[in-house]
Amino acid sequence: MTPSRKRLTLFIAVPVMLFFLPISIYFVDTASASDTVARNVSIEGIDVSGLSGAEASAVADAYATGLKSNLVTVSIADTQFSLDPAAIGVTFETDTAVSRALGENKDGLTGWLKAFSSKVDVPVEGSIDAGLLSVHIGEWEIEGIENPAFEGNVAVENREVVFEYPHSGLAVDRDMAFDLVAAAVMEGSNEVIVLPLVDSDPTLTNDDIDAAVARAELIIERGVTLTNDVYGFEYTVDPFNMARALVVHVVRGTPPSIEFSVDSTVLGPLVEIRRATFEVPPVDAYWEIIEVDDHEDWPENYAITDSPQEDEEGLPEDDVIELIPSTMGTKLDVNRVVQSIEAAALGDGTGDLVLELTAEPGFSTEDALAYGELYEVSEFTTFMPGTNRAHNIALMADTIDGYMVMPGETFSVNEVIGQRTLAKGYKYDCAIVGGEFSCEQDQVNVGAGVSQFGTTIFNAIFFGCYEDVVHQPHSIYFSRYPEGREATLGYPSPDVAFINNTEAPVIIKTSHTKRSITVTFFGNNGGMRCDSERSERSGYTSASLDYQTDPEVFVAPGAEVVKSAGSGGWSVTVTRVFYDAQGTEIEREPFYWRYRGEKNVILLHPCDPRVGGSGECPDPVPGVVGLTEAAAKAAISAAGYSWVVKYIPEDPGAPDRVVSQSVAGGSYVSPSTAITIFVDNTPIVPDP
């Protein structure tokens, strides 16, 4: 019984194993080939069974590359042309073909079993650019057809617009040509493709050509203007260069058209030349002052008062202040400008000069606006006599004009101007030196007279309610200045300086005419106002007496020459009164000053003890008339003078006698003075 069971078991097991064997092979096969191409699958007839996706892609790409490199030969009216598939933009969908190949014969057990008996060939789809092919066909028509259909022509030659009207003729049947060429490219055909011809009328009309000519002439005639309002830049293309750059082309496409463009190789170098003009560093925001009145029309008898100058008849109105926005640094993009030129040329002839923005300004428009509105806070004017002093004052004023003092900063005239020198253009003028009025051509007198500017700016500080740091009135009072409320200037001192104690910038504006200097402060002091009060004079003193010698002025011993009568001195106090925006007095600030007055200068001979002399003064010039020549010379020499002899032979008289002298006897002259004696040496002839 046992053997029989074994045979039965074997009999049953073998069929079962035969049934499950294919299934087992399927699972093993599919598991090992999940990322490869199934059996009996090809791409364009090339077996790719068992290849990975990358390997199949290499096969498909090689196939496509072969088609792209296969030159196609076409014939038009017995004229042959060679066509490179790349020239008509041929493309192949190799990725799509590989993806499809990887999916074939993998639809379960049925597909797996089917792969053993049936083959699948996957095509590589491709396409061409119909527009590019149309351009080539248009060129072939012109060259190959004796009487081709012609769409006309418009061009610019030698800066003139030339044209040809369209006419009928033969043309390639475009629809059939596209199909034939596409098939030849996709198949890699080596046969000559004959393109069929048909009768054809042009699409463009004479009116189209005329309109294109008129447009080209208009573009050339008006040229192009690009502007950048932010930077004030302008770039123009004149008619000459516009004619050089304009390109007009009849495109023989489907449908044909007339296209306008510009030649960047012509315009690019022209734009590049302007790079330095259009590439600028960033510019800070600033305030510009617009003068309403230049002060030339002020009355001749206008006088300085103790009040700030307000808008009254004959006085200037407030100037206008305008915020000029900041600008960023710029960089020129030539290609972008050329594109703008093309857009403008094909438009109305104008456009924007667009620049690339680079560096940020240090003081932006936003920074300026944060300070609030600025306005005229104070203004003061003085009048200036003298040519040189007017020159010096104008030079100093022009240097300071527009200077901006930020909140918390200190402004010093001497720090901004520096030492006044001839090299800077300053001239000699009178100055107070050691309590005396001096007009010498000495270093101390270079740039003199600018104290008038010191007085003018100090009063602008005073009435603007700004904090005084340093100022010094003159030691001698001048009636052209407001008493006690004036300031002198020297280098390195005296100086005029103030602190901007407000929360807004102060902009110093200066202006001048031939006879006046004006300083105006623009800012925002919160609406404060300052007035001036002056005390009575007190503590009068007489002019101090000062004895001096002057090597350029001869003073006889014992004599006195008044060089300066001098003036008395006194004390005075000027008080600055502060008012808030509502007009309420909030503070008083006194400024005390004592005028010493000008010295009474008396010139003496150097021998005078009052100027340090020994008291031993020179002898007067001796009287030598009537003396002999020898005696006269001896007398003059003994008195400490030199002599010169002149003979007068024609004058009758005793021989060898002095008849006159150039300086009278008893006079005092400079020891260096030579005394001329006139001697008569005519011999006496006795009577016969």
Return the DSSP state at 183. H
**Looking at the structure, do residues 296 and 445 belong to the same domain, yes or no?**
yes
Distance CA 312, CA 291 (A): 17
DSSP SS3 for 353 = coil
Distance CA 636, CA 679 (A): 14
Confidence of residue 22 (pLDDT cuts 50, 70, 90): low
Looking at the predicted structure, is the pLDDT value of residue 417 above 50? Answer: yes
Is residue 152 packed enough to be buried (19+ CB in 10 Å), middle (13-18) or exposed (0-12)? buried
* Domain membership flag for residue 158: no
Looking at the predicted structure, is the pLDDT value of residue 363 above 80? Answer: yes
28 alpha-carbon distance from chain centroid: 79
Looking at the predicted structure, is the pLDDT value of residue 440 above 70? Answer: no
Distance CA 74, CA 177 (A): 10
Looking at the predicted structure, is the pLDDT value of residue 103 above 90? Answer: no
Contacts 24+ apart (CB under 8 A), 5-9: none
**Looking at the structure, do residues 17 and 45 belong to the same domain, yes or no?**
no
Looking at mean pLDDT, say which of 245-259, 424-438, 581-595 comes out highest. Answer: 581-595
**Looking at the structure, do residues 461 and 420 belong to the same domain, yes or no?**
yes
* Domain membership flag for residue 66: yes
> Which of 115-129, 266-280, 281-295, 458-472 shows the lowest mean pLDDT across its residues?
281-295
DSSP SS3 for 333 = coil
For 323-332, the pLDDT digits (tens) are 999 999 999 9
pLDDT of residue 673: 85
DSSP SS3 for 620 = coil
> Which tokens sit at 587?
């503070």
Is residue 614 packed enough to be buried (19+ CB in 10 Å), middle (13-18) or exposed (0-12)? exposed
**Looking at the structure, do residues 211 and 351 belong to the same domain, yes or no?**
yes
Looking at the predicted structure, is the pLDDT value of residue 636 above 50? Answer: yes
DSSP secondary structure, 513-582, as one string = -SSEEEEEEEE--TT-EEEEEEPPPEEEEPPPEEEE--TTS---TT--EEEE----EEEEEEEEEEE-TT
The CATH number of the domain holding residue 356 is 3.10.20.800
* Domain membership flag for residue 156: no
Looking at the predicted structure, is the pLDDT value of residue 653 above 70? Answer: no
Return the DSSP state at 231. T
Q: What is the mean pLDDT of residues 390-402?
A: 89
**Looking at the structure, do residues 237 and 144 belong to the same domain, yes or no?**
no
Distance CA 666, CA 419 (A): 51
Q: What is the mean pLDDT of residues 438-459?
A: 70
> Which tokens sit at 100?
């499809």
**Looking at the structure, do residues 411 and 501 belong to the same domain, yes or no?**
yes
Domain count of the fold of the chain: 6
> Which tokens sit at 295?
């002060």
- Among residues 527, 547, 571, which one ends one of the domains? 527
35, 55 in Cβ contact below 8 A?
no
**Looking at the structure, do residues 402 and 319 belong to the same domain, yes or no?**
yes
**Looking at the structure, do residues 349 and 404 belong to the same domain, yes or no?**
no
Distance CA 476, CA 303 (A): 20
Q: What is the mean pLDDT of residues 663-671?
A: 83
b/e code 464-473 from CB counts within 10 Å (16+ = b): bbbebebbbb
Task: Provide the domain limits for residue 651.
Answer: 629-680
* Domain membership flag for residue 469: yes
Distance CA 628, CA 631 (A): 5
Confidence of residue 525 (pLDDT cuts 50, 70, 90): very high
**Looking at the structure, do residues 57 and 123 belong to the same domain, yes or no?**
yes
Beta strand 467-470 with 497-499: parallel, antiparallel or unpaired?
antiparallel
Return the DSSP state at 284. -
Confidence of residue 364 (pLDDT cuts 50, 70, 90): very high
* Domain membership flag for residue 487: yes
Confidence of residue 443 (pLDDT cuts 50, 70, 90): low
Looking at the predicted structure, is the pLDDT value of residue 473 above 70? Answer: yes
> Which tokens sit at 138?
């248009």
User: Any residues with CB less than 8 A from the CB of 230 and at least 6 apart, and which?
Assistant: 325, 327
- Among residues 344, 370, 396, which one ends one of the domains? 370
* Cα-only R_g, the chain: 54
Distance CA 632, CA 626 (A): 9
Confidence of residue 410 (pLDDT cuts 50, 70, 90): very high
First to last CA, the chain: 219
* Domain membership flag for residue 165: no
Question: pLDDT > 90: what percent of the chain?
Answer: 49
> Which tokens sit at 442?
């000495």
Looking at the predicted structure, is the pLDDT value of residue 218 above 90? Answer: yes
Distance CA 262, CA 176 (A): 35
pLDDT of residue 640: 85
Rounded-to-10 torsion of CA 274, 275, 276, 280? 120
Higher confidence at residue 683 or residue 604? Answer: 604
Looking at the predicted structure, is the pLDDT value of residue 345 above 70? Answer: yes
For 576-624, the pLDDT digits (tens) are 999 999 999 999 999 999 998 888 888 888 888 888 887 778 888 899 8
User: Any residues with CB less than 8 A from the CB of 459 and at least 6 apart, and which?
Assistant: 378, 380, 482, 485, 486, 519
Category of 93 on φ-ψ map: left (φ > 0), alpha (ψ -120 to 50) or beta? beta
**Looking at the structure, do residues 574 and 654 belong to the same domain, yes or no?**
no
Confidence of residue 432 (pLDDT cuts 50, 70, 90): low
Looking at the predicted structure, is the pLDDT value of residue 543 above 50? Answer: yes
pLDDT of residue 614: 79
For 266-321, the pLDDT digits (tens) are 999 999 999 999 999 999 998 888 876 544 444 433 334 444 444 433 344 567 88
Higher confidence at residue 271 or residue 678? Answer: 271
Distance CA 400, CA 413 (A): 8
Question: pLDDT > 70: what percent of the chain?
Answer: 84
**Looking at the structure, do residues 405 and 354 belong to the same domain, yes or no?**
no
Closest C-alpha to 602, from 667, 558, 666: 558
Looking at the predicted structure, is the pLDDT value of residue 447 above 90? Answer: no
The CATH number of the domain holding residue 597 is 2.20.230
505, 289 in Cβ contact below 8 A?
no
* Domain membership flag for residue 168: no
Mean predicted lDDT score pLDDT of the chain: 84
pLDDT of residue 397: 92
* Domain membership flag for residue 586: yes
Looking at mean pLDDT, say which of 44-48, 404-408, 638-642 comes out highest. Answer: 404-408
Category of 81 on φ-ψ map: left (φ > 0), alpha (ψ -120 to 50) or beta? beta
> Which of 65-69, 86-90, 224-228, 391-395 shows the lowest mean pLDDT across its residues?
391-395
b/e code 519-533 from CB counts within 10 Å (16+ = b): bbbbbbbeebbbebe
573, 534 in Cβ contact below 8 A?
yes
- What count of residues does the chain have? 688
Q: What is the mean pLDDT of residues 123-147?
A: 89
Write down the residue that tokens 């597909």 correspond to. Answer: 111
251, 135 in Cβ contact below 8 A?
yes
Rounded-to-10 torsion of CA 53, 56, 62, 67? -110
Q: What is the mean pLDDT of residues 337-366?
A: 95
408, 559 in Cβ contact below 8 A?
no
Confidence of residue 651 (pLDDT cuts 50, 70, 90): low
**Looking at the structure, do residues 248 and 365 belong to the same domain, yes or no?**
yes
- Among residues 493, 527, 561, which one ends one of the domains? 527
